[in-house]
A = this chain, B = another copy of it.
């Protein structure tokens, strides 16, 4: 890993593990609010998943992003326009962030019980 000068300057008050959590969380918040509202249908879902993945993998410390858009919801769209706006209940996302020797997997998933697209730490070491 290339340690940058700004790591020393701006992040000296947190641990490597905390940094991994921090960067993963930023990316998850960013992803949701950048792409919610995008027009989507069954036939464009593959391309949008890939574009979201590639965009968010550019962010600092992000090693990999997995995006799944719920095809069942898309297949049930029955307005006359044959598409919908991307919504929190259609998204299942994992973000792997790495800093130093530590990695964190941040997850976003719509939790039925909470009626809320929850972002949480699925795994961290």
Q: A residues touching B (Cβ–Cβ < 8 Å)?
A: 4, 6, 10-11, 13-14, 17-18, 21-34, 36-41, 43-44, 47-48, 50-52, 54-56, 58-60, 78-83, 85, 87-88, 111, 114-116, 118-121, 123-124
Contact = CB atoms under 8 A, between A and B. Distances in A.
A36 B36 CA distance: 7
Given A6-B114, A13-B124, A37 B33 contact: yes
Interface centre among A32, A120, A124 (most CB of B within 10 A): A120
A116 B58 contact: no
A103 to B, nearest CB: 13
Contact of A114 (B22, B32, B79, B85): B79
Top 8 closest pairs, chain A to chain B, by CB: A29-B29, A51-B51, A25-B25, A29-B30, A36-B37, A26-B29, A10-B120, A33-B34
Given A47-B51, A118-B10, A29 B38 contact: no
Given A29-B26, A33-B33, A47 B50 contact: yes
Contacts of A119: 26
Given A23-B25, A78-B115, 20 more contacts: A4-B80, A6-B80, A10-B121, A13-B121, A14-B121, A18-B121, A21-B21, A25-B29, A27-B29, A30-B32, A30-B33, A32-B33, A32-B37, A47-B47, A47-B54, A48-B54, A79-B114, A81-B114, A81-B116, A85-B88
